[in-house]
Amino acid sequence: MGAENISFTDYETMWRNVYEGVVPDGRWKQECRETWELLQASGAPGRVVRKTDQASSLPATHPWYEDLVVYALYAQHFNENISGIISRLDYLAELGVNCLWLLPVLSSPMKDEGFDISDYRSIRKNLFQEGLDELKRREIFDEFIRKAAERGIAIIFDVAVNHVSSQHDWFQNALKAEDNPYRDYFIWSEDNRGYSQARIIFKGMLDSNWTYSPAADKYYFHRFYPHQPDLNYRNPRVLSEIIRVFSYWIQRGIRGFRLDAAPYLWKEEGTNCENLGKTHDIIKILRKSVELIQEDVLLLAEACQPPREVVSYFGDNDECQAAYHFPLMPRMYRSILQESAEPIVDVMKPGVTPAISRENQWFTFLRLHDELTLEMVSPEEREFLHGKLCKRPEWDFRNGEGISARLAELFDTPREVLFAHLLLLGMSGNPVIYYGDEVLEGNNVEFARYQQEHTGFVDSRNLVRGPLNWNRIDGRLADGSSDEAWHYRNMAAAIHCRLSHPQISNAAGEEREVINDSRGSAIGLKLIKEDGFELYYNLSQSRELSIELPASHRPILSWSGLRENDLESEVNPHDPEAGTVPSGDPKEASRIQLPPRGVLWVSV
């Protein structure tokens, strides 16, 4: 059912699925009616929002987000503030990304890098030059959205929907009195024994999901840090508040939202309080609500779960449109380290990764703002990957369940980093590039120490969250022979090639095959896309891979696997008329030799 033909009765039924029998009918019906009226006043789909005119080869019938290449950044660390991002939009457009995922930018005391939100309707003041009033800050942020759209770049950002900062007005008011209306925005108890089956997410740092508040003389519930109290979605007013937040930002021009900590919204005694049915009912309401304002707003589920469980967050195309594929990430590392295509092929088999519709997408990545998580692997795989990649003890996160290190630290050479990125860019879905990885940024030990002093917690994830040094980066990029310039240049060529062929991104149509070499080793990976596109990877560091290609196939991208060579692509991001023709024309031979760590993309 599209937003254009939903009735109030239909909308009310969705609320009834959550709240009937939980709170009195009059209470939730009033919130439902007021929220509906707000959404109706906000405007019809497509009317109130500046649409992003993306430069894309996608057919008009395909979802706008199908071919996104996403760049994830912390505004304060990427280039100091929002104006700093504006000044680097050309840099990002040249790289080829067409979506910026702003890691938390909403007001926050910054005890968890902004995931502790103190005001849902304002951008943090420190993301603007000092001394600017609220109106000027708003003008600058609107200018950022507009100028990004002019370059075909959509903006999405994080909204922590499960919890807020303990400094949020809601929580501060809740502490004032038991009869304060905001008290019911949170979860309270006389003791710390409730929801005992809910796991401790930050093992090794916390020993309880409850914290005592002297002001309230009660315990409050939190799945993350004590300064991040969980919201109480049993109170229908909380759901209405979050919908109003989305409405506000959609009208400002935001194209999508990452629903941080989505699996934890609903709590139920006797369960692990994760992925519960009413959590999905709430997300359905969020999806329908945003569609009443603009029909194609993207909702991204942040759920570190196996794919067969994560697909439930797509619903029947009525929940989130996209979700992360967490288990694919460690298997890409394992394939590279073990020089075998089998881990990637195995994790994408239907028994592990169910088929999804064209309206849904996987967000894929080599690393994000958090640790390189090893939750989604077997104990044997975890031991292998941790042993190979966690080169320093201070990189460890959650007692062996994660590794905090950037790609330039995880891999020994720029050649290995580029190969990993080419593997990511060849996979279906929406690849996410983490800020600085395109220029081989390393861990920031100084920033991690500062955060430890600021928060009182030793959190190794801060090693990968520090600021970029643009004086150094600009100097290295100006030197065309530097490792940074070489890697940035080749990543840009690969991204632009991918965007010129949207068939590569469709998660619904990809097949994967292992190619064995003459010794029977599974060193070759073949990705089969729509319309005859085929992508080949030689995972071996020492042996060539023999592959057969029909005479009708032509190369669109190739790389010899050597740092000394640039990849060759039919698309030149600097000059669309001057793309290089990849070497090794398969029209002249039915079999070619792909060199160690070589890559070849071909089309019919």
Q: pLDDT tens for residues 466-522?
A: 999 999 999 999 999 999 999 999 999 999 999 999 889 886 678 999 999 989 999
Confidence of residue 575 (pLDDT cuts 50, 70, 90): low
pTM, two decimal places: 0.91
- In this model, does residue 49 exceed pLDDT 90? no
Length, in residues, of the chain: 604
- In this model, does residue 45 exceed pLDDT 60? no
- In this model, does residue 442 exceed pLDDT 70? yes
Confidence at residue 390, expressed as pLDDT on a 0 to 100 scale: 95
How many whole angstroms separate alpha carbon 90 and alpha carbon 146?
Answer: 14
Average pLDDT over residues 98-116: 95
- In this model, does residue 46 exceed pLDDT 60? no
- Three-state DSSP class for residue 175: coil
The answer to whether the CB of 208 falls within 8 A of the CB of 192 is: yes
Confidence at residue 464, expressed as pLDDT on a 0 to 100 scale: 92
- Three-state DSSP class for residue 401: coil
The answer to whether the CB of 45 falls within 8 A of the CB of 293 is: yes
Confidence at residue 53, expressed as pLDDT on a 0 to 100 scale: 40
How many whole angstroms separate alpha carbon 579 and alpha carbon 349?
Answer: 35
Known catalytic residues? 260, 302
Confidence at residue 48, expressed as pLDDT on a 0 to 100 scale: 31
Among 564, 596, 602, 604, which Cα is nearest to 583's? 602
- In this model, does residue 584 exceed pLDDT 90? no
Mean pLDDT of the chain, nearest integer: 92
- In this model, does residue 280 exceed pLDDT 70? yes
- In this model, does residue 50 exceed pLDDT 50? no
Tokens encoding 482: 């530097």
Among 310, 307, 234, which Cα is nearest to 265's? 234
SS (H, E, C) 253-300: CCCEEEEECHHHCCCCCCCCCCCCHHHHHHHHHHHHHHHCCCCCCEEE
Among 177, 539, 197, which Cα is nearest to 334's? 539
- What CATH code would you report for 510-603? 2.60.40
- In this model, does residue 587 exceed pLDDT 50? no
Strand 524-528 and strand 534-538: the pairing is antiparallel
Average pLDDT over residues 151-165: 97
Average pLDDT over residues 163-176: 98
CA angle 243, 244, 246 (to 5 degrees): 65
Confidence of residue 305 (pLDDT cuts 50, 70, 90): confident
Domain boundaries, the chain: 510-603
How many whole angstroms separate alpha carbon 252 and alpha carbon 246?
Answer: 10
Ramachandran class of 554: left when φ > 0, alpha when ψ lies in -120 to 50, beta otherwise: beta
Confidence of residue 574 (pLDDT cuts 50, 70, 90): low
Confidence of residue 570 (pLDDT cuts 50, 70, 90): confident
Confidence at residue 375, expressed as pLDDT on a 0 to 100 scale: 87
How would you label 486-513 residue by residue, b for 16+ Cβ within 10 Å and e otherwise? bbbbbbbbbbbbbbbbbbbbbbeebebe
Distances (CA, A) of 142 to 74, 92, 123, 132, 148: 18, 18, 11, 15, 10
SS (H, E, C) 84-140: HHHHCHHHHHHHCCCEEEECCCEECCCCCCCCCCCEEEEECHHHCCCCCCHHHHHHH
Confidence at residue 526, expressed as pLDDT on a 0 to 100 scale: 97
Average pLDDT over residues 554-562: 94
Average pLDDT over residues 87-109: 98
Place of tokens 């254009």: 4
CA angle 516, 519, 525 (to 5 degrees): 20
